[in-house]
Amino acid sequence: MDGVRGHALLLPFPAQGHITPMMQLANILVANHIVVTFVNTEFIEKRLKHKSTDYLRFQSFPDGLPPDHLRTLKVPELCESLQKHAPFHVENIVEKIMQADSVPPLTIIVADGAFSFTQKIADKFSVPRVAFWTTSACGFSAYYYMPLLIDQGYIPLKDDRGSCKNDVITCIPEMEALRVKDLPSFLTVTDAADYMFQYLLREGQNTLQASLVLLNTFQELEGPVLNDLNAKFKNKVLSIGPLLLSSAGYGDALADMTNSSIWKEEKSCLEWLEKQKESSVIYVCFGSITVLSDEELVEFAWGLEASNQPFLWAIRPDLLQGSSAVLPDDFVERTKERGFFVSWAPQSKVLSHPSVGGFLTHSGWNSTLESISSGVPMICWPFFAEQPTNRRFVDDVWKVGYEMRENVVREEVEALVRKLMNLEEEQGRDMRFRLKKFEDNAIASVKAGGASYKNMQEFLRQMEKKIGS
């Protein structure tokens, strides 16, 4: 292994939206001659079935939960179990690497932002810990400013009947547009002892101890929030996104090895998209965790049908809580001329397909960034975590999508889909114009000379400095 520049341990939170950007980062590190040990939970690794190579090694550890546990559908239980079990196993993995002759010693630990337990391990083995928050900068900022939000009486909520949910939050710098209901869902609880509330409060503050903070975003999109965070974090916050674009720059050599889809992609929809008119299809997908009620599924279906628009709908088998997601037979029959269903879509390829003109999304950060990077406007229906914050920025700050009310009704689905897909509509035209600029900025940012590119180089340099010192 000639020319090795370092050895990074990468530890994502075990959920699709965290694994994907971490794997994209792995791709870039490997292309820069850094050996990567990618650590998943056994539950995830069984589904990904990776094969290790000299440069990209996969290891896994048990998450402490029984095989049939629903995991990401019960996030607090997953977090609690990981906090209990992961420190021991991760430390063991690090120790073994440090003692091994067959691999270079670790030079850095890059762990999910919500895994600050790795700080102790990093300190013990004298390697820096980098916190990689796979959220938007605005989402991370909300977590970081939790003490201030508590101090100012915004959270925890005084009651959960919604009376204060429209209050405008004035204390977070560069987030003036935010209402209480736009805060990450883990913050808008009434009980200060709530597990996730305390967990994120702690993790947000523990990020201050990290040597660097990485964010999968770009300066031209979230500049003001990033600048504010950098003032608080002594310039240790590096925006390196969109990683989807920068990792693609390194070609497909690692594509098979680094495929990080937990579900099997159904590529047949790409052929179907080939047959559709330019910008005519609305893509509907709620990510890897969102669950719908029967009623919500039916309202979406009716709304889509009534919109008369071609649609591609990704419906995971576990999209409906408690039962497998089945659409009414007559709906599928009636829409078969202009509807296409998959259980898991090759989403980034779908969004960059010229036939796709709009995205009905749950506003997960990866989905939002993929949409912006492909110039596709959105209808936002957030489910949890910092998705409401992303929704607010999409709708009110970047103005590249519409907010949909929490309570799904077919008339609103129909009206918003019609509005979004109408290429003549003035608001929509402005949106597409802004998106084109963001798309160009995103591409420029990861190219030589761009802000994300420079930050990535800075990250690589810091790693080498640590190795040399």
User: Are the C-beta atoms of residues 315 and 327 closer than 8 Å to each other?
Assistant: yes
Between 107 and 366, whose beta carbon lies closer to ligand UDP?
A: 366
The closest of 78, 139, 187, 63 to 386, measured between CA atoms, is 139
The binder of ligand UDP chosen from 24, 219, 307, 367 (CB under 6 A)? 367
User: Are the C-beta atoms of residues 460 and 32 closer than 8 Å to each other?
Assistant: yes
Instruction: Write the CA distances from 417 to 209, 305, 380, 434, integer angstroms.
Output: 45, 10, 11, 19
Among the listed ranges 28-36, 56-64, 111-119, 339-347, the one in contact with ligand UDP (CB under 6 A) is 339-347
Among the listed ranges 9-17, 45-53, 87-95, 424-432, the one in contact with ligand UDP (CB under 6 A) is 9-17
Please report whether residue 217 would count as binding ligand UDP according to CB under 6 A: no
The binder of ligand UDP chosen from 41, 216, 258, 347 (CB under 6 A)? 347
Q: SS3 of 61, please?
A: strand
Between 97 and 137, whose beta carbon lies closer to ligand UDP?
A: 137
Among the listed ranges 120-128, 342-350, 373-381, 414-422, the one in contact with ligand UDP (CB under 6 A) is 342-350
User: Are the C-beta atoms of residues 413 and 299 closer than 8 Å to each other?
Assistant: yes
Please report whether residue 281 would count as binding ligand UDP according to CB under 6 A: no
Could you say which of 7, 50, 112, 353 is catalytic?
A: 112
The closest of 111, 101, 140, 171 to 239, measured between CA atoms, is 140
Among the listed ranges 52-60, 234-242, 332-340, 366-374, the one in contact with ligand UDP (CB under 6 A) is 366-374
Please report whether residue 382 would count as binding ligand UDP according to CB under 6 A: no
201-220 per-residue burial string, b: 16 or more CB within 10 A, e: under 16: bebbebbeebbbbbbbbbbb
Among the listed ranges 115-123, 213-221, 364-372, 398-406, the one in contact with ligand UDP (CB under 6 A) is 364-372
The binder of ligand UDP chosen from 6, 12, 14, 17 (CB under 6 A)? 17
Which residues make Cβ contacts (< 8 Å) with residue 385, sequence separation at least 6?
135, 139, 184, 185, 186
Among the listed ranges 2-10, 78-86, 318-326, 344-352, the one in contact with ligand UDP (CB under 6 A) is 344-352
Name the residue with tokens 């998450």: 63
Please report whether residue 188 would count as binding ligand UDP according to CB under 6 A: no
Between 86 and 385, whose beta carbon lies closer to ligand UDP?
A: 385
Q: How far apart are CA 184 and CA 204, in angstroms?
A: 13
Mark residues 18-37: x for contact with ligand UDP by CB under 6 A, - for none: --x-----------------
33 in catalytic set: no
Instruction: Write the CA distances from 27 to 23, 244, 248, 416, integer angstroms.
Output: 6, 10, 9, 38
The closest of 33, 35, 43 to 12, measured between CA atoms, is 43
- Whether omega for the bond prior to residue 242 falls within 30 degrees of 0, making it cis, is yes
Q: Residue 319 CB, nearest distance to ligand UDP (Å)?
A: 10
Q: What does the DSSP 8-state code read for residue 207?
A: G
Residues 42-101 that bind ligand UDP (CB under 6 A): none
The binder of ligand UDP chosen from 169, 304, 314, 456 (CB under 6 A)? 314
Please report whether residue 12 would count as binding ligand UDP according to CB under 6 A: no
Mark residues 112-151: x for contact with ligand UDP by CB under 6 A, - for none: ----------------------------------------
324-346 per-residue burial string, b: 16 or more CB within 10 A, e: under 16: ebebeeebeeebeebbbbbebbb
Residue type, 457: Q
Q: Is 192 exposed, middle or buried (0-12, 13-18, 19+ CB in 10 A)?
A: exposed
Side-chain-side CA neighbours of 392 within 13 Å: the count stands at 21
Could you say which of 18, 50, 89, 362 is catalytic?
A: 18
Residues 283-312 that bind ligand UDP (CB under 6 A): 285, 287-289
Mark residues 253-272: x for contact with ligand UDP by CB under 6 A, - for none: --------x-----------
318 in catalytic set: no
Binding stretches for ligand UDP (CB under 6 A): 15-17, 20, 261, 285, 287-289, 314, 344-345, 347-348, 364-367, 370
**What amino acid positions are annotated as catalytic residues?**
18, 112
